[in-house]
Copies of this chain bind each other. A is one copy, B any other.
C-alpha cells in the first residue's frame, strides 16, 4: 500500500485520461469501469462494505450516478460475477476446443476457473452463490461462452449429448465444492467475523471432541492444490466412463 492510494481516499481527479481530450475534465463513468472498480473494492474491503454510496465515492461520483449504468445493487452484483468469470477469456492456458484430447481440455478449463477463484478469494463466493438464471449456467461456470465450448468440445470428442450434459453437471459441482472450500480457507469471506481470538478458547471448545482436538493440526494443514489435482483426476476417470456409456 503506497501512501497515496490507501484507505479509501478518492483520487479520481488525478486519474489519467486515456482519450486525452480534456486534460482536467473528469473522466466520465461507464459500466465497465464501475464493474472493475467494484471487483477491486470487494477484494480489498469485502462484500459487506460494497455499498452504492461507497462505490460511487471511490469513483468520484455520487451514488445516484451509478443508476445510469446499472439498474440496481442486485444487477451490480450480477455484473461483478460476469466480470470475474469473463477474466478467463484472457487466460491463454484455457482453450476453446480440445487439441490434445478432452481430458486435457477439461484440465485447462478447471485450472482456469481455479485461477480466477484464487485471484478473487473474497469475491468468488459471489460467483458461487448468486442464484443461477438458467440450468445451463451452473456456478461456477456461469458463462454461456464456456458452457458452449464445454459441451461442443466433449461432443466433438465422442460424447453423446446425454453424456456431455452429465459431464457438465459433475464438472461444475466438483469445481463449486472444491473451490468454495479452498477460497474460504484462505480467510476472507462474507461477514466481518475477523475475530480470530486465540488463546484458551480453542482448547476449551474442543475438550468434548478429543479426536478433532488430536487431529486439529492435520485438519488445519492446507493440501488444496494436490487435492484439487487428485480429485480432478478422479472426476475425469468418472467422466471417461460416462463417455463409454450407451444412451
Give chain A's interface secondary structure class. helix
Partner of A216, one of B136, B227, B234: B136
| 0/1 interface trace, chain A 34-51, chain B, CB 8 Å (1 if under) | 000000000000000000
| 0/1 interface trace, chain A 195-230, chain B, CB 8 Å (1 if under) | 000000010011011111011101110010001000
* Cβ-defined contact, B148 with A212, below 8 A: yes
Q: Which residues of B contact A169 (CB under 8 A)?
A: 181, 223, 227
Query: A10-18, A82-90, A123-131: which lies at the B interface?
Result: A123-131
Query: A22-30, A56-64, A102-110, A158-166: which lies at the B interface?
Result: A158-166
**Contact surface of A with B, Cβ cutoff 8 Å:** 74, 77-78, 125, 128-136, 138-139, 144-145, 147-148, 151-152, 155, 161-162, 164-166, 168-170, 172-178, 180-181, 184-185, 188-193, 202, 205-206, 208-212, 214-216, 218-220, 223, 227, 231, 234, 238
A74-B193, A78-B193, A175-B177 known; 4 other A-B pairs, CB under 8 Å?
A: A139-B181, A144-B208, A151-B212, A166-B223
